[in-house]
Amino acid sequence: MIAAVNRFWMPAAGAVALAYLVIMLVTGALPERRQLVQSEALGVLRLAPESIRRVTVGADAAPAVFVRQADGWLREGSAAAVDAELAEIIERAVKFMHTANPVRALAREEIADAGLAEFGLEHPRLRITLEDAGGVALEAAFGNDSADGLLQYMRLRHRDELYLMSGFVGKEWQAVLDGGHRDEAEAPRLLVPLPIGEVAAVEIYAGDESYRFERDPGGAWLLHRHAPGDDPNALHQADPTQSERIAQALTAFGRTRIERSIAHGAGGDAYGLVDPEAIIVLFTNDQARSPLDFAVGDLADGLWRYLQMPDHTEIVTVPDNQITGLIDFAAELEP
């Protein structure tokens, strides 16, 4: 039976799913309602995603449980919000249940000759439970992938049909489960140990060039420039357009995540840190706080960059584009 389903429905269903994915990638968002279904929601979750207060996702291991609070998603039993990356994954997974239309629903008579095991649903890969203020809103189980790998079988509790869902839906829930079982100590670590909102100035020394971003009296960012003959004590006013671009670049830098910590103590010469390619220094308005300086070393495997942390002992790797992007941006603004 399952072979017949795959033979007749997989090519067409796969094409629909692929088209759906392309729309998402091109637009950066889920497609709006158009001619497909004239209903309030396309997905199997009819409630608004923001109404979901509790999420449980599990497989063979203990489930991961998250609770929505005013300040974000928390692991059940924890007082601290999960990191921003995991919170975004949870939000996206819940939203997919509301917006991702099943590619096809298989009626009971179509699967009568096949057992749940043929679809991977006797022992599902994943089970999820979504709850709102009134209790359980939806329970779903995810089984095998389709023959072409684009779709995945899904079953809802209290419904007879089986659904073929675009594969990205189950993958997103797997990411929720993986993040939920990650120990807090293993959570992605940010390179900058303070919010960019607390940074008053950033200096970049790269080769023979130097750049300084600072805030004007109103808190807006500007690229500090002094031409010969300028009063060094003169106040500078930020250009609104340029200020917004600087703020975006520094915010992106502030979100840089450490890929791994690879060394402590001596040995910086092995990573290009004895004579670094650049130095990035962050200043706050707290005079008692030392500036944070990051030495930028060699490339690591083409994608990562060695950096020495402000303690001058720990060496880490971070995405190269996060570092070179900031330096190139400063050079672009400098006339």
pLDDT band at 249 (very low <50, low <70, confident <90, very high): very high
Neighbours of 60 (CB within 10 A): 7
Residue 265: the pLDDT is 67
Residue 235: the pLDDT is 53
pLDDT tens string 131-146: 999 999 999 999 999 8
Among the listed residues 171, 153, 147, 151, the one whose alpha carbon sits nearest the alpha carbon of residue 117: 153
Residue 59: the pLDDT is 83
- Rounded to two decimals, the pTM is 0.48
Residue 30: the pLDDT is 42
Q: What is the mean pLDDT of residues 227-247?
A: 69
Among the listed residues 40, 59, 178, the one whose alpha carbon sits nearest the alpha carbon of residue 128: 59
Q: Is the pLDDT of residue 115 over 50?
A: yes
Neighbours of 5 (CB within 10 A): 22
Among the listed residues 117, 129, 124, 164, the one whose alpha carbon sits nearest the alpha carbon of residue 15: 164
Q: What is the mean pLDDT of residues 198-213?
A: 94
Contact 182, 64 (CB under 8 A): no
Q: Is the pLDDT of residue 170 over 70?
A: yes
pLDDT tens string 38-94: 344 579 999 999 999 999 999 876 789 999 988 789 998 887 788 888 999 999 999
Contact 292, 173 (CB under 8 A): no
pLDDT tens string 7-44: 444 454 455 444 544 444 334 444 443 333 334 457 99
Element (H, E) at 175: helix 167-180
Residue 183: the pLDDT is 54
List the single range of 70-74, 166-170, 209-213, 277-281 with lowest mean pLDDT. 70-74
Neighbours of 259 (CB within 10 A): 18
Domain ranges of the chain: 2-28+41-187, 190-226+235-333
